[in-house]
Structure 1
Amino acid sequence: MVIMKILFAVLIVISGIFYVMYLWDFALVLFVVMLAMPVFMFIFGYTAKKRIKVEFSLKDRSVMKNQEFPVKLNIENESIFPIGKAEAVVEYYNVFNNQIHSFRLLLPIQAKNDQSVSFRISSKFCGIVKIRCAYINIFDPLRLFKFKVGKNTGTEIAVVPEGHDISGTVSYTDRINEESNKFSDIQSGDDPSEVFDLRGYIAGDKLNRIHWKLSSKKDEFIVKEYSMPVDVPSVIFLNLRCYEDSEYTLPVFDTLMETFISISKFMLENERIHNVIYFNENQGFFTERTISDTNELSEVVSELIFSISDNLYCEQPEMYFAENPTLSFSSFTFVTSAPNTDILSYINDSVDADFKNAIVVVKNYDESKTENIYGEMREIPVVIGRISNSIKDIEL
């Protein structure tokens, strides 16, 4: 573009010399036209700039990580001037780190027309991916002037973490939610408020379980099998507080989220309704959500990701325990990235639960080689990206 400006300036000088040396009408017209051309080109570009609108559109508001998703850059030109060549610079980044990826798109922009250009991107880690148009350069036909449009226009999408297979045991205890009416579909229990199944009498069955009215009609003893409550007070406490700002921040956050999803899915597969507790910065307090199926889990994950600030700010978990000093659970699982802290000792000593686990995300295998120093609580180190290999035989 600089070369074009120099070349055009030279042409203006030449036409001026031509007009001075030859006092013809043609020389005057040529000189006036050469002087007017830059003005016309500026008006051309400036008018187009004011009449061009830029926006992004996404097919979905959330996608799985490592999955490519389409993005459309929509450009609407309401002016009568076409742009032969426009240069768009698109940037995208995960808000939980500072690594910005960018690329350029070259495209014409037709007059009085709407057009779109599509591209596909993906994210290696979960979180919020922001996509923005740094700018779009448009030029006049002679490329004398450059104008920027669509600067910092953007959108965002939630990149959802993946779940991993883990092994363990979901135990049934005497702690149940007495107000709940949710029972197992595959396993009988001892709750007389709901009949799970009817079967023939087997030696050793309790007499109070015989269905006398039905037995009199069948001429044989029919026994009632009671139901197994699945709505027991089981909690996953997700501590997303960032204890270290480094290259590991995003991988640690990603592993924290995937650990939570893996444990939650494992509990759902074993018919265990449970709650998750996390700090919601948008609301400014700890939020507790019940998860009874995979749809609710997906909703919670999306809400959780959008509730986190760019700096991963999270209140100290001690605040929640100070506000709720009398906690009682069937199982309590604390997911964090800070090992050997006072909060783990507090959970071990003060939280009333039949099964207590502390899932601690660590950077490497060396940090995972720690002895369990807690009596009632089991500490399970999880190496970044190695969830299935780290969580084995967990008891919930």
Structure 2
Amino acid sequence: MVGLKMRKMVKKKIAGVCLCLILGLLFIITESKIFLALLSFLLMIIVIEVIRIGLLKKKCSFQLLMQTSGQKKEILKGKLIVHNNSIFPVIDAYCKLHVKNVLTNKGYAINVPFALKAKHSEEFPLEIISEHCGGLRITVDQVNYLDFSRSFKTTKIIGTSIKSTIFPNMITENNRWDFSARMNQDSTVYSEYKSGHDPGEIIGHKEYSPGDNIRYIHWKLTAKIDKTMVKELGFPVDDTFVLFYETKLPHENITPDTLDDYAAQFASIALYLVEQRVLYTIAFYNSEKKSCEFHKVGSEQELYNIFTDLFDQVRVVDDKSSLNDCLFEEEQFGVLYYFALDEVVIPNTINHEVVVIPYLTKGIENEE
């Protein structure tokens, strides 16, 4: 279709040049003022069109408005607002929009044709349907102005962009993952790897060092091994859970459907925990900022705000998990649930209990 339009435009350009040459040649041969007048009129129209389109390129502005969120396979409504501040009308033009899903790294183009009166603004409706969940980036790449005969096209790069989030279809049967043992704990949870200052839990013993409180010297153990030993006190954990979302791709062959299902699995469990009134943290590696982000979740609104950021993460291919890029020493939690896209080797630098939840396709596809 694009090639056909280009061929038609080239033919019209050739025809216009030939017409000018013929009129000029006829004037030279016949010295008739009629041919001179026709040639002058044609050249004047060309000059006016060049001036008109030049002003339009400077005086037209574009604004995108779109729903901030929606569901996959449903219509996401928006509009393109065009402001023509020129004294000339827009006779024939079209905007080229690009829609990209950051989660799947797939995109497509949309052409929005428009015509506009001088000194006038108009809204042009947009409807976008995404086959997969993820962060959408809708960009007005460029605008193309055509002359009245559609023989010439002038392009201006715009670059105006807007974001929207397509949420996954939630899976209702999330009880296949048993969090009940930890969710029902009323007592304080202590770290299994880090000592602290809470006498409510003794996690071990160590040799006395300057600064240790003598109140916690273990006298029987000290007498037995002839070394001054003190009790290692527990480190209370504020958030029992950390759900870790993988933002790296183990290989290039991960399909959009797989990424969509993975996001649905993660989001469904995260929502399930909120519904059970469990306080927890979502963690993921931000490849653009090159840092690990931790977001505490206390309500459904907070969770969906996190999803907006989570599904907009640019993914890179790396055979190592993004767990290798995160530091967990300062984070207080009891267990880290890692949602794996593929087989993964847990780095030995993580001094926390790590539970790997493999990516499950069975049951997810049937929910669609």
How high is the TM-score relative to the length of structure 1?
Answer: 0.66
* 2:20 counterpart of 1:16: no
Q: CA deviation at 1:112?
A: 1.4
Give, as a single letter, the amino acid of the residue that structure 1 aligns with 2:152.
F
* Cα RMSD after superposing both structures: 3.4
> What SS does the corresponding residue of 1:301 show, helix, strand or coil?
helix
Matches of 2:366 and 2:13, distance apart in 1: 63
> Which amino acid in 1 is paired with 2:109?
S
**In 2, are the aligned partners of 1:334 and 1:358 still within 8 Å (CA)?**
yes
Kindly tell me: are residues 36 and 160 of structure 1, through their superposed partners in 2, closer, same or farther at Cα, counting changes over 3 Å?
A: same
Matches within 5 A, 1:103-114: 103-114=110-121
Q: 2:314 aligns with which of 309, 312, 315?
A: 309
Match of 2:233 in 1: none
DSSP-derived class of the 1:163 partner: coil
Partner of 1:32: 40
Question: How far is the alpha carbon of 1:326 from its aligned partner?
Answer: 9.6
Which residue type is aligned with residue 127 of structure 2? R
Q: 2:89 touches 2:118 (CA, 8 Å); kept in 1? A: yes
C-alpha separation in 2, matches of 1:114 and 1:302? 31
| Aligned residue among 269, 279, 289 for 1:263 | 269
**Paired amino acid for 1:148:** T
Secondary structure of residue in 1 paired with 2:164 = strand
Map residues 273-288 of structure 1 onto 2, 5 A cutoff.
273-288=279-294
Q: Aligned partners of 1:125, 1:261: CA distance in 2, in Å?
A: 14
Does 1:237 pair with 2:244?
A: yes
- Which whole-Å CA distance do the structure 1 matches of 2:127 and 2:314 have between them? 26
Give the deviation of 1:266 after TM superposition.
Answer: 2.0
Q: Give the structure 2 partner of residue 219 of structure 1.
A: none
Could you tell me which runs of 5 or more consecutive residues in structure 1 were left unpaired when the two chains were aligned.
179-230, 362-381, 390-396
| AA of the residue aligned to 1:44 | R
- Count of paired positions: 306
Shift in alpha-carbon separation, 1:82–1:233, aligned structure 2, 3 A: same
Indicate the residue corresponding to 2:131 in structure 1: 124
3-state SS of 1:42 partner? helix
CA-to-partner distance for each residue in 1:167-216, whole Å, 9 max, x for gaps? 246232364269xxxxxxxxxxxxxxxxxxxxxxxxxxxxxxxxxxxxxx
Specify whether residues 5 and 261 from structure 1 end up closer, same or farther in structure 2 by C-alpha distance, changes over 3 A only. Answer: closer
Residue in structure 2 matched with residue 44 of structure 1 by the alignment: 52
What amino acid does structure 2 have at the position aligned with 1:128?
Answer: G
Give per-residue Cα distances to partners, 1:122-147, cap 9 Å, x unaligned: 21222222222343322222334221
What aligned pairs does 1:158-237 form with structure 2 within 5 A after superposition? 158-165=165-172, 166-167=174-175, 168=178, 170-171=180-181, 172-173=184-185, 175-176=187-188, 233-237=240-244
- C-alpha separation in 1, matches of 2:139 and 2:332: 45
Please list every run of 5 or more consecutive structure 2 residues that lacks an aligned counterpart in the other structure.
1-8, 191-237
Aligned partners of 2:247 and 2:315 also within 8 Å: no
Q: In the aligned structure 2, how far is the partner of 1:162 from the partner of 1:344?
A: 32
* Letter in structure 2 aligned against 1:42: V
* Paired AA for residue 287 in structure 1: E
* AA in 2 matched with 1:343: I
The aligned residue for residue 329 of structure 2 is 324
Counterpart-to-counterpart distance in 2, 1:290 and 1:85? 51
How many angstroms does 1:80 deviate by?
Answer: 1.7
| Structure 1 contact 45–145 (Cα < 8 Å) conserved | no
CA 1:28–1:267: 2 relative to 1, 3 Å: closer
Structure 1 residues 51 and 177: CA distance shift in structure 2, 3 A:
same
1:383 and 2:365 equivalent? no
Instruction: Please point out which of 249, 258, 262 is paired with 1:252.
Output: 258
Q: Residue 377 of structure 1 aligns with which residue?
A: none
Q: Does residue 1:343 correspond to 2:346, yes or no?
A: yes
Q: Assess if the C-alpha contact under 8 Å between 1:232 and 1:272 holds in 2.
A: no
CA pair 345-253 structure 1, distance change in 2 beyond 3 A: farther
